[in-house]
């Protein structure tokens, strides 16, 4: 089916896409992190216009290939990014999606972003990631940017301070790793650990190697010295 969105002309195999999504797990079954667990509930609160738009492509909105988020404590909302796959082709797009402004850096062309509502935006790309092995070819990717409420009946792991209040310098803590999170930034991926120690909570940016090596439940010691948390 040809779908003309003005900025994009798409050839979508709706039935093949719908069938492919029956083999994809809901996001809260794919991953136990706060981003995914919250998304599974919060996405059900979006405007009917959005769910109907996804349905028109054959996409199950509760089964993204990937989502990630940033928690806003004051507003109690999550700023989400993510993407879904679609069986078909991008036949034409009005302008390039990426605009290069330095030799190794680029930014997205805002003219190619479609606003479904004031808080839900999408765009399309052939640059696909995390394609399931049995997902039908050809395919392309729908990417999203949205705000969704915090919807879980527990505190968000983001609601943790990396600089505890009071005089914590030179004090040692026995901690347990309770959450790991990857954030995508213009300069690459940012890897963060979230620790708990009795009623105190800490977060720490770490190298990729440490992020991949240590698992949830890891117990260690940390110390806060001159404004920095240190694992030892």
The pLDDT confidence band at residue 229, using thresholds 50, 70 and 90, is low
**pLDDT of amino acid 30:** 78
C-alpha distances (whole Å) from 106 to each of 98, 116, 124, 185 are: 6, 25, 17, 12
158-214 residue pLDDT tens:
555 444 455 555 677 888 988 888 876 655 678 888 888 876 788 887 878 788 888
39-57 residue pLDDT tens:
999 999 999 999 999 999 9
Ramachandran sector of residue 110 (left: φ over 0; alpha: ψ -120 to 50; beta: rest):
alpha
Average pLDDT over every residue of 103-109: 59
**Tokens read off for 122:** 């999408």
111-128 residue pLDDT tens:
899 999 999 999 999 999
Q: Is the pLDDT of residue 4 over 60?
A: yes
Q: Which comes out higher in pLDDT, residue 61 or 232?
A: 61
**pLDDT of amino acid 171:** 73
The pLDDT confidence band at residue 14, using thresholds 50, 70 and 90, is very high
What DSSP state is assigned to residue 167?
-
The pLDDT confidence band at residue 100, using thresholds 50, 70 and 90, is low
**pLDDT of amino acid 228:** 61
Rg of the chain (C-alpha set): 20
Burial class (CB in 10 A: 0-12, 13-18, 19+), 177: middle
**pLDDT of amino acid 34:** 79
What is the distance between the alpha carbons of residues 80 and 67, in angstroms, rounded to a whole number? 7
Q: Is the pLDDT of residue 105 over 70?
A: no
Query: What's the chain's average pLDDT?
Result: 84
Q: Is the pLDDT of residue 93 over 60?
A: yes
Q: Is the pLDDT of residue 78 over 80?
A: yes
In the block, which residue shows the tokens 């694992």? 231
The answer to whether the beta carbons of residues 114 and 142 sit under 8 Å apart is no
Burial class (CB in 10 A: 0-12, 13-18, 19+), 69: buried
The answer to whether the beta carbons of residues 128 and 139 sit under 8 Å apart is yes
**pLDDT of amino acid 214:** 86
Sheet holding 171-185, edge to edge: 200-206, 188-197, 171-185, 219-225, 228-231
Q: Is the pLDDT of residue 81 over 60?
A: yes
């Amino acid at each position: 089916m040809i779908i003309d969105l003005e900025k994009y002309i798409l050839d979508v195999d709706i039935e093949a896409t719908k069938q492919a999504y029956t083999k994809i797990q809901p996001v809260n079954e794919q991953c136990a992190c706060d981003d995914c667990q919250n998304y599974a509930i919060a996405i059900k609160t979006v405007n009917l216009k959005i769910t109907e738009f996804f349905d028109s492509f054959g996409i199950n909105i509760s089964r993204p290939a990937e989502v990630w988020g940033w928690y806003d404590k004051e507003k109690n909302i999550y700023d989400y990014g993510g993407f879904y796959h679609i069986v078909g082709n991008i036949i034409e797009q009005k302008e390039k999606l990426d605009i290069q402004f330095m030799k190794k850096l680029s930014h997205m062309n805002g003219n190619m972003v479609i606003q479904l509502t004031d808080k839900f935006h999408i765009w399309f790309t052939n640059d696909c990631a995390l394609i399931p092995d049995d997902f039908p070819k050809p395919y392309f990717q729908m990417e999203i940017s949205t705000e969704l409420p915090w919807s879980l009946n527990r505190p968000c792991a983001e609601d943790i301070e990396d600089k505890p209040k009071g005089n914590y310098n030179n004090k040692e803590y026995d901690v347990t790793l309770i959450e790991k999170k990857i954030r995508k930034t213009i300069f690459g991926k940012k890897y963060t650990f979230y620790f708990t120690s009795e009623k105190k909570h800490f977060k720490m940016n770490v190298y990729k190697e440490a992020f991949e090596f240590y698992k949830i439940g890891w117990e260690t010691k940390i110390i806060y010295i001159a404004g920095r948390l240190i694992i030892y």
